[in-house]
Chain A
């Protein structure tokens, strides 16, 4: 079966500098793909390019078999994307933001499903974004990625700012959504989540693939998370 997403030789430039190069990756349909790397290793740039927020400088980008490397709008249309929480507009309410992305809130609610509960969204709906804490903004940003009902979603470091309970609940719900057919790509800083929740992953270093992790490698990592953490940290240090 062809993968849901297939990048080959992908490169991304920021301000004339190549920050991601020669990245090959395959994301199976209905799987959770984790991206790990040091700060500035190119994770965000790669995810933004995939979501159409940046152009690809080189390579191919197949989404369900269709090459969209040169079609930013096409990629943006096909992926739900979690915007950086601090860029959400202060002067609108949470409900307005979700409705702008996904239509009426009655349509948005079933798309969010159990995630709405995990994100504790109901009490936030009538709150101004400007009155939300960093964690609340992050909850809204995650909800935005799912409000449009996309079958492929990209989340850039979704667990930042969330409290431990929310991290646990959101991770569980995301996993169950993936089991129900969602294709999820996340940048992560938590090796434990990568090992325990993801089906495959990639370690980026200086914009290049340092290590590709398939299902078997992550299964092994989940059995001995400490050894996996030590190996990955050594790799990132080198």
Chain B
């Protein structure tokens, strides 16, 4: 019988091989690789430029936020993988033994920390210590949070949350949410114009995000049962259509054209995010698709800030490329 002690790193090698092969498959063509390198270089240049224009304290707080976010996300991802290995994986022994667990956790965080340090050295070496320390604090925070048990009543609500998410995809949900926004807007009319617009923007963002949840399994299922990518987008975006049809003219009537423009712009951005996610889920597994969408969304945000005129061209290029590839996945089970 083989002993796991003979190869203490096999759990890490297992996931490392999966990660490398997945990245190779995703960037199999030279086009994909060139686009990825270009996106990486442009993103790093934009971050560097953005940080250089800010006072050190603002830049440091940004590094703290990014480090915490990355640290907590990485820790949660590693914990999730270990839970999978312990339950369904090939190497359950390694995932259940404290010594091999520690090696696995240390190896992945070591890689993540090295990548973060490299990025910080390129974009802002003065933030190296702050960023890395925040990453470690984030991992610690996530590890502590994972020890907090969820009360059963709260766990039961997760089931009802699934029902609510499914209902939010219906047209009537969009109409109801738009009506709620308009009623709230009526109550907020006494606010100063600037405050009103800011609050309206935040409200619209939160409400439209709630209306555009995407379940990767549903997307994959629809693709394998013959739904083309745009039909899947239509299924997920139905409530947004109702929302826009009611909210935009309603806001125009209540608070004027600027309010209507804000609702349109925010809804457009959220719809774009929805389309990106649907197309990416047609092509890749959830985790990798989310990574790709985050990169594209970040790139579009930076472009919107620095070079807004180029934004629609890049958005259309990304959408065209994704939908072109997603179309080939219709009916495909693999």
Which residues in A have some Cβ–Cβ distance to B below 8 Å?
Answer: 15-16, 48, 51-54, 72-73, 76-77, 81, 83-84, 87-89, 91-92, 96-97, 100-103, 107, 130-131, 144, 147-151
Residues of A within 8 A of B7 (CB): 103
Contact B17 A87, beta carbon cutoff 8 Å = no
Contact A92 B4, beta carbon cutoff 8 Å = no
Whether A52 touches B96, Cβ cut-off 8 Å, given contacts A15-B155, A100-B13, is yes
Give the CA-CA distance A107 to B2 in the complex, in Å: 9
Is the CB of B118 closer than 8 A to any CB of chain A? no
Contact A48 B1, beta carbon cutoff 8 Å = no
Residues of A within 8 A of B17 (CB): 91-92, 96
A39 vs chain B, min Cβ distance (A)? 19
Would you give 19 A-B contacts (Cβ < 8 Å), ordered by A?
Answer: A15-B155, A16-B152, A16-B155, A48-B87, A52-B92, A53-B92, A76-B96, A77-B4, A81-B92, A83-B88, A83-B89, A87-B84, A88-B90, A91-B17, A91-B21, A103-B2, A130-B334, A147-B2, A148-B2
Residues of A within 8 A of B25 (CB): 91
B300 vs chain A, min Cβ distance (A)? 28
Give the CA-CA distance A70 to B274 in the complex, in Å: 45
Give the CA-CA distance A89 to B93 in the complex, in Å: 18
Q: Which of B6, B10, B14, B96 contacts A73 (CB 8 A)?
A: B96
Is the CB of B97 closer than 8 A to any CB of chain A? yes
Is the CB of B22 closer than 8 A to any CB of chain A? yes
Which residues in B have some Cβ–Cβ distance to A below 8 Å?
Answer: 1-2, 4, 6-7, 10, 13-14, 17-18, 21-22, 25, 84, 86-93, 96-97, 152, 155, 334
Closest to B25 in A: A91
A220 vs chain B, min Cβ distance (A)? 36
Contact A84 B10, beta carbon cutoff 8 Å = no
Residues of A within 8 A of B22 (CB): 91
Contact A97 B96, beta carbon cutoff 8 Å = no
Q: Which of B10, B18, B86 contacts A53 (CB 8 A)?
A: B86
Give the CA-CA distance A221 to B229 in the complex, in Å: 54
Residues of B within 8 A of A81 (CB): 92
A155 vs chain B, min Cβ distance (A)? 14
Q: Which of A54, A73, A131, A144 contacts B93 (CB 8 A)?
A: A73
Residues of B within 8 A of A130 (CB): 334
Give the CA-CA distance A107 to B3 in the complex, in Å: 13
Closest to A80 in B: B1
Give the CA-CA distance A16 to B153 in the complex, in Å: 11
B39 vs chain A, min Cβ distance (A)? 22
Closest to B13 in A: A100
Contact A72 B21, beta carbon cutoff 8 Å = no
Contact B18 A92, beta carbon cutoff 8 Å = yes
When A and B form their complex, which 6 residue pairs have the shortest distance between CB atoms, in order from nearest? A73-B96, A91-B21, A76-B92, A76-B93, A87-B88, A148-B2
Further pairs besides A52-B92, A76-B96, A87-B89: 16, Cβ < 8 Å: A48-B87, A53-B87, A53-B88, A72-B96, A73-B93, A76-B86, A76-B92, A84-B88, A87-B84, A91-B18, A91-B22, A91-B25, A92-B21, A101-B91, A103-B6, A149-B2
Give the CA-CA distance A72 to B155 in the complex, in Å: 25
B221 vs chain A, min Cβ distance (A)? 14
Q: Which of A16, A84, A96, A151 contacts B1 (CB 8 A)?
A: A151
Residues of B within 8 A of A149 (CB): 1-2
Give the CA-CA distance A77 to B1 in the complex, in Å: 9
Give the CA-CA distance A77 to B97 in the complex, in Å: 10
Give the CA-CA distance A101 to B97 in the complex, in Å: 16
Residues of A within 8 A of B90 (CB): 83, 88, 97, 100-101, 144
Give the CA-CA distance A83 to B2 in the complex, in Å: 17
B22 vs chain A, min Cβ distance (A)? 5
Give the CA-CA distance A107 to B7 in the complex, in Å: 14
Contact B87 A150, beta carbon cutoff 8 Å = no
Contact B86 A72, beta carbon cutoff 8 Å = yes
Give the CA-CA distance A175 to B205 in the complex, in Å: 62
Residues of B within 8 A of A151 (CB): 1
Closest to B21 in A: A91
Contact A148 B6, beta carbon cutoff 8 Å = no
Residues of A within 8 A of B92 (CB): 51-53, 76, 81
Contact B21 A54, beta carbon cutoff 8 Å = no
Whether A148 touches B334, Cβ cut-off 8 Å, given contacts A83-B90, A87-B89, is no
Contact A77 B334, beta carbon cutoff 8 Å = no
Give the CA-CA distance A130 to B300 in the complex, in Å: 33
Residues of A within 8 A of B14 (CB): 89, 92, 100
Residues of B within 8 A of A76 (CB): 86, 92-93, 96
A14 vs chain B, min Cβ distance (A)? 11
Closest to A89 in B: B18
